[in-house]
Structure 1
């Protein structure tokens, strides 16, 4: 029987991982059942930890160690039912050669879809090829058909007919001129953007490269927690 591996990136905080594990476990059972109905076997890349009481990858080091034992050419599902820190899996995904499918739950209670979008954004920024699917029940036609395509071809193709290149969009001349004038002035005058805790929660996708930001007139001022703490000590309780 053909195999597909499954991993789950979690939070860095133990209490959050413990609180969210039941939702993740329930989602994985649904995803696994869907994969098995297509004639594949799901192999979880890392076990549930009875001491920590969750089965998430909870650090970058943990993720790196787990990916060492995952065949680099095997199909791989990254299943996310809750918020996750992308850097837990990004190093392993950067060197994975097999098809990658990110899967998120469509839930009003658990932020798996938000975690999925953070992961997808980071993969896109890193130039890693992947496919993505989402579902509320994991037995709907959209999910099943997409999963079937991925298992057969290694990719999912979504309808993007609603997307247009910006160059094709017609902007009124007076509006365009306002934008051009502002942009020129902005680049000349320049602006400083304060950055605190850049890449927080493993959000590699949120780190805008300086060489892309600076040409438009924005320059980063990176702030540190130690500097903030030192400055706080100079402010009196009255203030």
Structure 2
């Protein structure tokens, strides 16, 4: 690789997060530059934060040379993809491994977005303060410099196993439900925050037995005007009586929660109007200056205990992410068939570390985790805490749907597009309840207002970072692994299993 390597900075759409992260971006870039200097490689910086796709097109599009994206805070996938698509020059996504400045989140999301457009890229990461001191990192970086690609260990990627007759029977029963009435996903807007890898479209959805109906998010405002004060007050009394703890202060008041419940009820009415089975909610940006955040509502929909409930979870994926929504709805129905609680939790893969010799992932999404994770009681909202979403990102006050997830065995899954086909990753693991002091340190090191889950996913840091196709994951309490394998196959997904060790 004789050419000069170009280092670039993908960014957030919003200037404020980029400004907050700039010291970390600079420090991370300096670490990469030192690593390249150790390898005697020429390099230069692209002198712009790419905060919009047009910036990527303008500043990366003309470069037909090796490039390295520096991921050291939350970034949007298109702010890389749109500048590198249509060419095959070596591309490396390099991130820190940090919960406070989650470059790993941006790397995972961007890698999956690149896969959607068949643009090949390599991944590299480290948690070292001095990147030149991490031998694994330096060996992989040298491999990329010499060959233009990194070949990660693939021993944890396994074919789907044979399943038991009982698991097949459960999967067949759910498949019959889907074929009797094709599940309809109500999509509020399009994908959010660069999650282009989370939208499959009607052509791909039809191949696996799903349909979608898109509704503009602006309908929330229009329909919200028709929601009566009486319904809102009844809903507010319900969540209070069922045990939600509200941490009010400043501009976060009961009226802010009431406005969130107005949106919840407006969306509930749309779900009933269109007889939708599940919900994708665009969430950020579109209405961020007009309505409170949707986190509290998403948490309610993912709970059986909620205002005006029909007794079921309405499976809800934040960021309108169909890569989580499809497995969530499939897992929900499998859980019900097995007599297990039906809630499936939407989470971000935010960070990970060892505790007592065990590697645990910190799963931390802003609000799409239902209440059952915090209490294991389907009839209550106890254990739910609602904090104001940080004002720096959310100008209209509104609360989260937070808590600490309880211990238990889990099944997890994620759908994604690869080589023009829909795939499903499936795995097992368990949630761990950390000591209070450890939990608080990890939580404070990420985003304290958001729901917390510490989970052994059966795969450690390097397997997930090398091969996983998103920063999102669907998690369910209970063992439905074989049932999910059988159902995914029957619905025409390609299936792979991610599992470290034997």
Provide the rounded CA distance (Å) in 2 between the counterparts of 1:238 and 1:42: 63
Q: Which residue of 2 aligns with 1:198?
A: 190
Give the CA deviation at 1:227: 1.3
- What TM-score do you get using the length of structure 1 for normalisation? 0.90
Q: How does 1:96-175 map to 2 (within 5 A)?
A: 96-137=87-128, 138-139=131-132, 140-166=134-160, 169-175=161-167
Give deviations 1:74-118, integer Å, cap 9, x for gaps. 111111001101111211111232111111110121111011100
Using the TM superposition, give the Cα deviation of residue 210 of structure 1 relative to its aligned residue in structure 2, in angstroms: 1.7
In the TM superposition, residue 7 of structure 1 has moved relative to its aligned partner by 1.1
Higher strand fraction: Structure 1 or Structure 2?
A: 2
Question: Quick one: which of 227, 233, 239 aligns to 2:219?
Answer: 227
In the other structure, the counterpart of 1:26 is 27
C-alpha contact (below 8 Å) 2:88/2:119 kept by paired residues: no
Q: Which runs of 5+ in 2 are unaligned?
A: 232-502
Q: Tell me which moved more, 81-90 or 211-220.
A: 211-220
Instruction: Give how far 1:2 is off.
Output: 4.1
Aligned counterparts of 1:180 and 1:43: Cα–Cα separation in 2:
56
Native 8 Å contact 1:105 1:136 kept in 2 = yes
Hey, what's the Cα distance between the residues in 2 that align with 1:187 and 1:103? 43
Select the residue among 36, 51, 67 that pairs with 1:58.
51
CA contact (8 A) 1:187 1:216 kept: no
Counterpart mapping for 1:11-50 below 5 A:
11-45=12-46, 47=47
1:211 pairs with 203, 211, 215, which one? 203
* Most deviating of 139-148 and 182-191: 182-191
Structure 1 gaps of 5+ residues are: 48-54
2 CA distance for matches of 1:99 and 1:232?
Answer: 49
Instruction: Decide whether aligned partners of structure 1 residues 39 and 90 sit closer, same or farther in structure 2, where only a CA change above 3 A counts.
Output: same
* Matched residue, 1:52: none
**Separation in 1, partners of 2:103, 2:189:** 23
**Per the alignment, in what secondary structure is the counterpart of residue 20 of structure 1?**
helix
**Correspondence for 2:244:** none
**Higher-helix-fraction structure:** 1
| In 1, Cα distance between equivalents of 2:177 and 2:219 | 32
Q: Distance in 2 between matches of 1:92 and 1:237?
A: 48
The 1:2/1:215 distance shift into structure 2, 3 A limit, reads closer
Q: Deviations over 1:107-150 (max 9, x none)?
A: 12111101110001111121111111111122311110000000
The question of whether the paired residues in 2 share the 8 Å contact of 1:106 and 1:135 is answered with yes
Q: Distance in 1 between matches of 2:116 and 2:227?
A: 40
- The alpha-carbon deviation at position 43 of structure 1 amounts to 1.1
For the Cα contact (< 8 Å) 2:113–2:197, is it kept in 1? yes
The TM-score with structure 2 as length reference comes to 0.44
- Report the counterpart of residue 88 of structure 1 in structure 2: 79
Count of aligned pairs between the two proteins: 227
Cα pair 2:61 2:84 within 8 Å, conserved: no
1:154-199 Cα deviation digits (max 9, x unpaired): 1100111121122xx1211210221123113212211111212322
Helix, strand or coil for the counterpart of 1:201? coil
Check the 8 A contact 1:188/1:217 in 2, yes or no: no
Q: Deviations over 1:42-99 (max 9, x none)?
A: 2112x2xxxxxxx4211111111102442x1x11111100110111121111123211
Query: Aligned to 2:230, what secondary structure does the other structure show?
Result: coil
Helix, strand or coil at the partner of 1:159: coil
